[in-house]
Structure 1
């Protein structure tokens, strides 16, 4: 073997060893809640993975690392030990790997698929939007677009799709928020757990009441389909709670963020109003820019190296979609809201076997119905200069206040 051959060879012993995981002991939960994006920028620049003592897990912030995790359930398991989601909602499909995950997912049938949306749910979305737009108008300029429109609209859509004919949209909002707070309760606040556990019990009671009613009088709802299948009751309960969470907060939060972003970028707002076929692009950019589900957990099944960083077996990870979707290695000028950016797949709805089953509901109810109706029926819709909009959160992120004016 010549010297030049040696120089060009890459035997195992010449491969650089995996780097140690940096410790981000400067990160606090309060800072993440207020504005996580400067934190994510700093972390990404240092390494794709950090150990974060404040949340007791490794946070993964680069696009490539998050994408790798999403597509390798053999190494990165959804079935995390000590899962906050399991405690808050039960052991749903989101905390299972295949084949158990796929059994649960297939039990949902076609209720959330595009054909069902077109044939059954789109008409209901339109009706519900008209109802809550009327309430927003009645509240008058200065009303909060999230709490006077987006939240009840998303909740009522979900209530009907799921088949909770024994509950109200207010119940759905309360159940969703308190259980979501439980899944993100990294501070282990006992008051948060108490509220989450109360909703846990109420949802079980509502399901137990509806199942026999829907077996006797089936309809197009999700619970009706599940009532006709030989599925364990605990699986139905857990998956329904999971759906109440993501199925409400995702459309609510992306709708609020999309309106906020368009109103804060008048050039892009005018572009969309001149060509309403661009509302779906505004939706996709909003969900990339501020992912409504900003982080979800995984756990390593064995020692592994992720993007050059060593992770031991049993490592509890936070897959930070809110950071991955702003990775400059993947997106040009990623901190900017830009509906005209080059189309690059974002990770806001997950990927692999856990791609969000409610994606089509969110897209249809927001991009096809809510956004066009809001801008068509509220002339000169604009932000309230005296009452600023507020966005918050990191495990889940959205608008907590969105006062608006119109003529």
Structure 2
């Protein structure tokens, strides 16, 4: 058995895991991690197989002790991300029916205008000389406002959403403290209670928002969402939707600032924006690790993953695999052959991918359109977590 000496608690690895990924990938495509007690897939082919092989499932097991994590378990037990067919098929069909009503494209002009307003505010505060935090000033605000608008969350309540989400997603990291776990459970309980109340209001007074559609949607078989499924879906859309977009925005802008020739290339040719967004997602993946569980013995990458054992796709490692990407460590905003797996693959491919692309194209488009110069004021601060990869602060000087 090849065991990988990858220390995910090492600040140097958290800051830049890609050299460690490359060294491990050169040893074997799939390796055992003693500390995590799971297999890790380092190559694009094997990581893609982990995501697509139907013998590898998302098998949710309640966090123990169950009485301590009642709300956290509820929002995962009923989540599409933690289900396999046929339950996954039914739930995704219902959610897709609501999404298919044109919500994403309906919001595109509004998202673009919001992005311009946020960038203009940053430019005004910076004035070409003062550093402003693009993360809190735009990257965090835009996707939360967009999801809140999509769901129909009242403006006065929107500041509640990101703190709840931040607390919940910290449960996905390794080496958690008791305080982190307790904060996640409190946030989950408050979030569930809030959404139950919001959904109850929409049942009495339907609108054009996504919660109203989720409340009323029925598929061809007459199925509808249970209340727990509806609440969980809304929380998943907010948590997964905005966390990824925030982190692509932060990681991506930092990458452009550290590669000024690519930033200038994008300014010179704004038509490259769609391919640039895909490249920024590939270059520094917002989600680094996605677990699956073997439902039977599965051979993958030269090893056998026994039934009940976990294996994880390392998305960031897969997205830098030289067998698939030419010069994988080079940022290339014009890269067209780019089968990155940052949105996942297979039945769990991100249902919010179209919305994320709208948000990212709007925010980076506004930054290019409303500024003549972007400059990193001092080194960005990265968050200390490995699984969800993002920045804590991105200080930039903006010139109009």
Tell me the number of residue pairs that the alignment of Structure 1 and Structure 2 aligns.
381
- Cα distance in 2 between the residues matched to 1:391 and 1:339: 23
What's the counterpart of residue 225 of structure 1?
Answer: 213
C-alpha distance after superposition, 1:342-379 (max 9, x if no partner):
51311010111111011111111111x11111122122
Once the two structures are superposed, the pairs formed by residues 176-325 of structure 1 within 5 Å of their partners are 176-184=165-173, 186-229=174-217, 230-325=224-319
8 Å contact kept, 2:293–2:311: yes
Q: Does 1:47 align with 2:28?
A: yes
- Cα distance in 2 between the residues matched to 1:383 and 1:125: 25
Any idea what SS the aligned residue of 1:296 has? strand
Any idea what SS the aligned residue of 1:106 has? helix
Change (3 A) 1:133 1:38: same
Q: Does 1:107 align with 2:94?
A: yes
What's the counterpart of residue 122 of structure 1?
Answer: 108
- Cα distance in 1 between the residues matched to 2:53 and 2:298: 12
What's the counterpart of residue 391 of structure 2?
Answer: 399
Which blocks of at least 5 consecutive residues in structure 1 are unaligned?
A: 1-19
8 Å contact kept, 1:28–1:54: no
TM-score by length of 2: 0.89
- Cα distance in 2 between the residues matched to 1:147 and 1:183: 22
- Cα distance in 2 between the residues matched to 1:169 and 1:132: 16
Greater Cα shift, 392-401 or 308-317: 392-401
Select which of 323, 340, 357 maps to 1:329.
323
Q: Does 1:374 align with 2:367?
A: yes
8 Å contact kept, 1:89–1:179: no
CA RMSD of the aligned region, Å? Answer: 2.2
8 Å contact kept, 1:179–1:199: yes
8 Å contact kept, 1:29–1:54: no
- Cα distance in 2 between the residues matched to 1:36 and 1:89: 30
- Cα distance in 2 between the residues matched to 1:113 and 1:291: 27
What's the counterpart of residue 30 of structure 1?
Answer: 10
Any idea what SS the aligned residue of 2:304 has? strand
- Cα distance in 1 between the residues matched to 2:230 and 2:87: 13
Q: How far is the alpha carbon of 1:250 from its aligned partner?
A: 1.3
- Cα distance in 1 between the residues matched to 2:259 and 2:100: 33
8 Å contact kept, 2:80–2:92: yes
Any idea what SS the aligned residue of 1:169 has? helix
Any idea what SS the aligned residue of 1:126 has? helix
Q: How far is the alpha carbon of 1:394 from its aligned partner?
A: 2.6
Change (3 A) 1:192 1:212: same
- Cα distance in 1 between the residues matched to 2:42 and 2:289: 10
Q: How far is the alpha carbon of 1:113 from its aligned partner?
A: 5.0
Once the two structures are superposed, the pairs formed by residues 116-155 of structure 1 within 5 Å of their partners are 116-118=103-105, 120-140=106-126, 141-155=130-144
- Cα distance in 2 between the residues matched to 1:83 and 1:335: 38
Once the two structures are superposed, the pairs formed by residues 69-84 of structure 1 within 5 Å of their partners are 69-73=50-54, 75-81=55-61
Q: Which of structure 1's runs of 4+ aligned residues deviate more than 6 A?
A: 83-86
Q: How far is the alpha carbon of 1:134 from its aligned partner?
A: 4.0
- Cα distance in 2 between the residues matched to 1:322 and 1:53: 20
TM-score by length of 1: 0.87
What's the counterpart of residue 380 of structure 2?
Answer: 389
Which blocks of at least 5 consecutive residues in structure 2 are unaligned?
A: 218-223
- Cα distance in 1 between the residues matched to 2:187 and 2:281: 27
Higher Cα radius of gyration: 1
Change (3 A) 1:401 1:206: same
8 Å contact kept, 1:328–1:334: yes
